[in-house]
A and B are shown apart, each in its own frame.
Chain A
Amino acid sequence: MLQIKDLYAKAGDRDILRGITLDVAAGEVHAIMGPNGSGKSTLAQVLAGNPAYEVTGGSVTYQGIDLLALQPEERAQQGVFLAFQYPIEIPGVSNAYFLRSAFNSIRAARGQEEVDPLEFLDYMEKKLELVDMDVEMLSRSVNMGFSGGEKKRNEILQMAVLEPRLALLDETDSGLDIDALRIVASGVNALRRPDNATIVVTHYQRLLNYIVPDFVHVLAHGKIVKSGDKSLALELEAKGYDWLVEPQGALAS
């Protein structure tokens, strides 16, 4: 489904990704782990098309197409979804309107008919249950005044609504208490299907107790330094990252 080959990217003058190669097949869950500043979040942002990052080398093929040639909205329309580490607030725009606009934009791009607000509300009911959110959340402005946990649940709600083929979860566990973590994880698990794939970016092993990965990759200084199965995450939990990560000085030019 996704083939990342020798991907380089920078933000401003700073090189962040320095040759990432990764294959993700349909039905798989990959965890990307690594210390702060290793480039985990950047990888997710670059795949989603954040214009703040510049791709300087390599290629990304998604379902046979050149993902990097697409605008962010086209990637979304092709089924790429990024759950943000820091969900953005949009004052004055109701969550319901935002969600329906996103849903309809994607449907329209796929040549499907748009749904009206009433139909959409019906559709939303089940989705809200999935992340244990009250319908009242729909009338609030997007992420405005939401607690950290509510924001993250709102991300998963969006994911549930948009039903992506490739979901990128960027530090979805950060700032969550254990109950919220469980809700978020069960939401993600409920959305797992043989024809979609998930990349989970996380600093801690904790989330992987709930969202069990097929593969774990460790990122350091913008490169994958080790890959393994879920036991690697447990090993990292026990030993930390130091044994895998060369000192920064060795790489810095």
Chain B
Amino acid sequence: MGGSIETLVNREYQYGFVTDIEAESIPRGLNEDTVKLISAKKGEPKWLLDWRLKAYARWTTMQEPHWSNVKYKPIDYQDVIYFSAPKPKKTLGSLDEVDPKLREMYGKLGISMNEQKRMNNIAVDVVMDSVSVGTSFKAELSKLGIIFCSFGEAVREHPELVQKYLGSVVPHSDNFFAALNSAVFSDGSFVYVPKGVRCPMELSTYFRINAEGTGQFERTLIIADEGAYVSYLEGCTAPKRDTNQLHAAVVELIALKDATIKYSTVQNWFAGDENGEGGIFNFVTKRGKCAGENAKISWTQVETGSAITWKYPSVILQGDNSVGEFYSVAVVNNHQQADTGTKMIHIGRNTRSTIVSKGISAGQGNNSYRGQVKVLPKAAFARNYTQCDSMLIGNRCGAHTFPYIEVQNQTATLEHEASTSKIGEDQIFYLTQRGISKENAVSMIVAGFCKDVFKELPMEFALEAQQLLGITLEGSVG
């Protein structure tokens, strides 16, 4: 029986295949000309090029941050390919025009678009290697005035919206990785939901890194106008690679008065092999701004992949009575390292935030929660509830918690609960004694531990997340 657990441990990363599609890449390295070339290839207006160049200039003055609790070999930023677009690139009217090889790839990923569209009622905008190749449900959404398209298209079709909001939450100078992204971002998704409109379906984008050595620099911008509602799902898989792949995305959310944005992520990028070789370096800046009264932004993330995760989806609670939420499950196995958490910045009166973080460490994985709750002087009666739980599987892994709390208004109420537990041998024995395999027993215990987060995910995503967790932890007990 020990043998079968071995087999599971040694099972190849399920989505570790490479699709043989001709990619148009630019030479490795980064300088001002690279930025200009990317912008030119995308046919961008001058204001955007200028913005990129400003970001690039700023980036050259910045240092890669090393305050997080992760260790990795230095990244050679001149050895990265900063742009690659699948060919042939042409405007597609329907899915039938999508390259059959791409469609085969969707099949392998379990994203049959037609089926997804009909059965799941999800509009899927597939981002593969930096350029969107197909956007669905567009007509239906546009009837409601909802814009859901690639970032590049938004720049062409809705420049006034992009110009108004781009960098308004994450400025080009925000941090090293955000500045890098601002300079070289290739594509991403754009969503605008007009006043009073409730988006009738979950919006979804599947990210995938394909061309070898290509950095992935996605830019996502979501705007919910007054009284609007939108739920956005981001799910990721990537092929197996030997060289580390750099990923530095930026996501900006803007919720105006009475608007709600729910942003859910299941991240399953290649985490490296059992010796810690390969795997994605994931340095992401995600931030939302509750710009108006009663606005609400909710982040839910399930992080199971990547060799390194550096990610702090945050909310700026500017409007009075606005609400920020962060629900997170982060799993590390083998040699994975995650330093993830959130920032809740209370600016407006009666602002409320909730943080529920579940960290699971197995193998020699290292998991850190890093969270900041900041209550500014005008944030009267601000409230925060933080719950931060860690689960350890085996005794070679680590769990760390770094909470930062800064309160400048005496009427604020903050609660912080934290726990660390080991997965119990007695729990595993109990479940296996009922005929459940050890692997499933571990999944079940872990899923139970994560329930408070899973229940925040849309149904189909919750199931996927639970399965992913099981796959990630395979072989971790034995």
Q: Which residues of A contact B (CB under 8 A)?
A: 48-52, 70-77, 81-82, 84, 87-88, 90-93, 97-98, 101-102, 105-106, 109, 141, 158, 162
Contact = CB atoms under 8 A, between A and B. Distances in A.
Contacts of B436: 73, 76, 101-102, 105
Contact of B435 (A92, A109, A141): A109
B448 A92 contact: yes
B445 A90 contact: yes
A84 B425 contact: no
B413 interface: no
B437 interface: yes
Contacts of B429: 49-52, 72, 88
Interface string B420-457: 00001111011111111110100011011111100000
A196 to B, nearest CB: 16
Contacts of A93: 444-445, 447-448, 451
A192 to B, nearest CB: 20
Contacts of A77: 435
B119 interface: no
A76 B448 contact: no
A125 B176 CA distance: 60
Given A88-B426, A92-B450, A76 B432 contact: yes
Contacts of B438: 71, 73
Contact of A90 (B425, B432, B444): B444
A88 B434 CA distance: 12
B459 interface: no
23 contacts: A49-B432, A50-B429, A51-B429, A71-B438, A73-B432, A73-B433, A73-B435, A73-B438, A90-B427, A90-B430, A90-B445, A91-B448, A91-B449, A92-B447, A92-B452, A93-B444, A93-B445, A93-B447, A97-B444, A101-B444, A102-B434, A105-B437, A162-B435
A5 to B, nearest CB: 23
Contacts of A48: 433
A127 B429 CA distance: 24
Contacts of B440: 101, 105
Given A51-B425, A51-B429, A90 B435 contact: no
Nearest to A50: B429
A253 B22 CA distance: 77
Contacts of A97: 444
Interface string B1-18: 100000000000000000
A106 B435 contact: yes
A87 B427 CA distance: 9
User: Which residue, of B424, B435, B437, B445, has the highest number of chain A Cβ atoms within 10 A?
Assistant: B435
B462 to A, nearest CB: 13
User: Which residue, of B427, B433, B440, B444, has the highest number of chain A Cβ atoms within 10 A?
Assistant: B433
A105 B435 CA distance: 6
A85 to B, nearest CB: 12
Contacts of B445: 90, 93
A75 B452 CA distance: 33
Given A71-B432, A72-B429, A162-B434, 8 more contacts: A49-B432, A71-B1, A73-B437, A88-B429, A90-B444, A90-B445, A91-B448, A101-B440
Contacts of B431: 90, 98, 102
A230 B451 CA distance: 48
A52 B435 contact: no
User: Which residue, of B431, B440, B444, B449, has the highest number of chain A Cβ atoms within 10 A?
Assistant: B431
B266 to A, nearest CB: 19
A87 B429 CA distance: 11
Given A51-B425, A101-B440, A72 B447 contact: no
Contacts of B430: 84, 87-88, 90
Contacts of A98: 431, 434, 444
6 nearest CB pairs, A to B:
A92-B448, A92-B451, A102-B434, A76-B435, A93-B448, A88-B430
A97 B434 CA distance: 13
Nearest to B434: A102
Nearest to A78: B435
Nearest to B2: A71
A33 B12 CA distance: 51
A8 B448 CA distance: 37
Interface in B96-115: none
Contacts of B451: 91-93
A76 B433 contact: yes
Nearest to A161: B434
A52 to B, nearest CB: 7
